[in-house]
Structure 1
Amino acid sequence: LYLQALDLRKRLQGDNHHHVANSLNNLALLYKFTGRYNEAKPLFEQALAICEQTLGVGHPNTMTIRGNYAIFLREIYR
Structure 2
Amino acid sequence: MARWVVSPAGTEGYAKAEVMRGGVDTRCLSSQTMEAKTVPGLYIVGEAVDMTGWLGGYNFQWAWASAVAAGKAVAERVKG
TM-score range, shorter chain: 0.3 to 0.5
Whose helix fraction is larger, Structure 1's or Structure 2's?
1
